[in-house]
């Protein structure tokens, strides 16, 4: 059976400051809540970076709600923006704390900050600062991960890595975090740290010393349980029980910055590849023991800068893929002119010379995008393993890029050829950071400093 893969841009949002992390809320009632974090190094009026022993880095935390209200309304609504120190990472706790979602944020002033999602009297959602803990002076908190990836609400902990090469383990109390342990894990910046969700006494870290290391909290951090040296722009899949040889090696190029397993389709892996866009890999055969690379099912290439933030949403998409899709500027101008109203505001130009725009009339009302159906290509990659052969997959994703400060919300549809309906225009090529184990496998993230 031949399968078809399609991506569709739903909305583009200018974050104003450089965007580097996006996270959908993993708790069922709030699956439609999205956060985005930004990072900006302050510059002098002449455009030069300010000279200082402690450079000023500012950030902004955005809160959005995704709503499915039909094709005439942009689906993403901004609920809140909070000015903060520069943000390096965001992660939602996978379980509610005191019956509320809890968001962790790693900042450039070396703090892990906690926010709760609360509802106002006007039934609007907002983030409320709960507490903050400094992991060390004169350092940046670079990443964080919760120990709750398998839904365990007991002994909630956070692991954080920092620019001094240290890994920090923190414990969550009723209203705040408490430092449990800290150790020097890497010679340079430790860009990533993560729990093994299958055994949260195990921690993994990676840094600019080109090393991936494992740590067992039960025996202490004096010696890592393993060390693997690699800095080769590949995505490596590992069996956590045997770290001598990876299950699969996948050369994506561009500098692999972030990896996210799909929360329910356990074989799907989303990769943000800095200079080489965003890609969705099918890791099913590799995780089942077959040799070879994980084939790419789709690529999203409409960002114009470093591909940094990426995440899957667990929102169930209603209906088929929307019929509108970004087209050439000539097509859109014609559509607006013939409708006799409005103007086109260009927000973004893609590397493929198509334009992603916001169409509004003079009163700010949304104008649906023009439709110019074109044949889509057919993918020959084997389908995902599912309960019934022929099941289609429709996913909602968010990605963000750095220097062009853009947040994109898009959908990906993967379905048998006969179930795809009428052909539609494509964006990009056709073809969980729940970093940690899935079916006993650990995904290795190789990083490049920017």
Q: Quick: pLDDT tens for 358-404.
A: 333 333 333 444 333 333 334 445 555 543 345 789 999 999 999 99
Question: At residue 298, does pLDDT exceed 70?
Answer: yes
pTM as predicted: 0.80
| Percent over 90 (pLDDT), the chain | 66
Q: Which of 29-38, 260-269, 281-290, 369-378 has the lowest mean pLDDT?
A: 369-378
Distance of CA 293 to the CA centre of its chain: 22
Residues 116 and 21 reside in one and the same domain: yes
Residues 356 and 317 in one domain: no
Task: Say whether both 309 and 334 belong to one domain.
Answer: no
pLDDT of residue 18 exceeding 70: yes
Using the predicted structure, report yes or no on whether residue 210 has a pLDDT greater than 50.
yes
Q: Are residues 115 and 73 in the same domain?
A: yes
Quote the domain boundaries for residue 117.
3-322+429-444
Shared domain for 258 and 229, answered yes or no, is yes
Question: Does one domain contain both 174 and 289?
Answer: yes
Nearest to 256, CA basis, from 289, 231, 284: 231
% of the chain exceeding 70 in pLDDT: 74
pLDDT of residue 254: 95
Q: How many domains does the chain have?
A: 2
Looking at the fold, whether 116 and 83 belong to one and the same domain comes out as: yes
- In tens, the pLDDT along 256-271 reads 999 999 999 999 999 9
The answer as to whether 380 is a domain residue is no
On whether both 100 and 210 belong to a single domain, the answer is yes
- Are 111 and 183 in the same domain? yes
Higher-scoring residue by pLDDT: 440, 316: 316
Q: What is the pLDDT of residue 49?
A: 59
């Amino acid at each position: 059976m031949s399968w078809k893969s399609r991506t569709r841009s739903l909305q583009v949002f200018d974050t104003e400051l450089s965007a580097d992390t996006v996270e959908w809320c993993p708790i069922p009632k709030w699956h439609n809540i999205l956060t985005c974090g930004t990072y900006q190094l302050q510059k002098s009026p002449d455009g030069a970076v300010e000279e200082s022993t402690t450079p000023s880095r500012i950030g902004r935390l955005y809160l959005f709600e995704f709503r499915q209200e039909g094709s005439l309304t942009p689906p993403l609504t901004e609920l809140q923006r909070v000015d903060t120190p520069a943000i390096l990472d965001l992660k939602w706790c996978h379980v509610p704390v005191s019956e509320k979602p809890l968001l962790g944020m790693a900042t450039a002033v070396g703090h892990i900050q906690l926010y709760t999602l609360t509802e106002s009297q006007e039934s609007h959602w907002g983030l409320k600062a709960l507490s903050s803990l400094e992991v060390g002076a004169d350092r940046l908190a670079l990443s964080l991960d919760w120990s709750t990836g398998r839904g365990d609400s007991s002994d909630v902990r956070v692991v954080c890595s920092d620019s001094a090469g240290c890994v920090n383990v923190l414990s969550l109390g009723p209203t705040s975090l408490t430092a449990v342990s800290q150790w020097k894990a890497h010679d340079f910046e430790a860009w990533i740290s993560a729990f093994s969700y299958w055994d949260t006494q195990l921690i993994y870290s990676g840094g600019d010393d080109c090393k991936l290391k494992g740590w067992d909290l039960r025996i202490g951090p004096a010696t890592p349980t393993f060390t693997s040296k690699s800095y080769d722009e590949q995505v490596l899949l590992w069996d956590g029980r045997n770290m001598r040889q990876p299950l699969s090696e996948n050369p994506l190029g561009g500098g692999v910055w972030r990896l996210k397993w799909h929360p329910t389709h356990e074989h799907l892996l989303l990769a943000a590849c800095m200079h080489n866009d965003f890609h969705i890999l099918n890791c099913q055969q590799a995780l089942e023991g077959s040799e070879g690379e994980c084939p790419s099912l789709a690529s999203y290439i409409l960002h114009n800068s470093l591909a940094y933030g990426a995440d899957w949403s667990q929102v169930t998409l209603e209906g088929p893929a929307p019929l509108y899709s970004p087209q050439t500027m000539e097509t859109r101008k014609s559509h607006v002119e013939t409708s006799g109203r409005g103007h086109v505001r260009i927000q973004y130009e893609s590397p493929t010379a198509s334009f992603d725009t916001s169409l509004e009339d003079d009163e700010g009302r949304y104008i649906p995008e023009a439709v110019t159906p074109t044949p889509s290509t057919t993918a020959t990659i084997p389908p995902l393993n599912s309960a019934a052969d022929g099941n289609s997959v429709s996913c909602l994703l968010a990605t963000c890029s750095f220097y062009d400060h853009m947040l994109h919300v898009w959908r990906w549809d993967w379905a048998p050829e006969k179930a795809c309906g009428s052909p539609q225009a494509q964006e990009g090529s056709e073809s969980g950071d729940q970093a940690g184990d899935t079916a006993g496998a650990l995904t290795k993230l190789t990083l490049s400093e920017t």
